[in-house]
Amino acid sequence: MLNRVHHIAIICSDYSRSKHFYVDVLGLKIVKEIYREERKSFKLDLQVGEYDQIEIFSFPDPPMRASRPEACGLRHLAFEVDDVQNAAEELRARGIEVEAIRIDETTQKRFTFFPDPDGLPIEIYER
């Protein structure tokens, strides 16, 4: 019934900071950016790879995300990379704090995490 993930939506606390993070730091391509006056909200559509998209929303005074300890709901966002070590070094060079690289005990693939500007855990997982 389901074909694939169409998009992932993220609500941010600071639109400019999140736009900079996802576009300039992570290198995602802007597909469309609009301001919705009736909602006092920006909506930024970003391209991930060939088919997937992330939507960044800004709303006035959104509640903070409960993340530590882990709460019910979205646990994290994960991106596939060719080389976790290289990707982690590139992120660190851009000022992003990246956790130590770990090995998935089931697949033996390398992975690690880093936070977005609002603390949403983002994983990079080796192809």
Sign of CA dihedral 57, 21, 19, 62: positive
Instruction: Please say whether the beta carbons of 18 and 65 come within 8 A.
Output: no
CB atoms within 10 A of CB 70: 10
- The H or E element containing residue 32 is strand 29-36
Note the pLDDT tens digit of each residue in 108-121: 999 999 999 998 99
Instruction: Please say whether the beta carbons of 98 and 114 come within 8 A.
Output: yes
Note the pLDDT tens digit of each residue in 16-44: 999 999 999 999 999 999 999 999 999 99
Number of helices and strands in the chain (H, E):
2, 8
| Residue 38 in tokens | 């009736």
Structural domains for the chain = 1-60 (3.10.180.10), 75-127 (3.10.180.10)
pLDDT at 2 over 90: no
Sign of CA dihedral 18, 24, 27, 29: positive
Note the pLDDT tens digit of each residue in 47-104: 999 989 999 999 888 888 776 667 777 788 999 999 999 999 999 999 999 999 999 9
Sequence-ordered list of residues with C-beta below 8 angstroms from that of 57, at least 6 positions apart, any chain: 9, 10, 11, 12, 41, 42, 43, 44
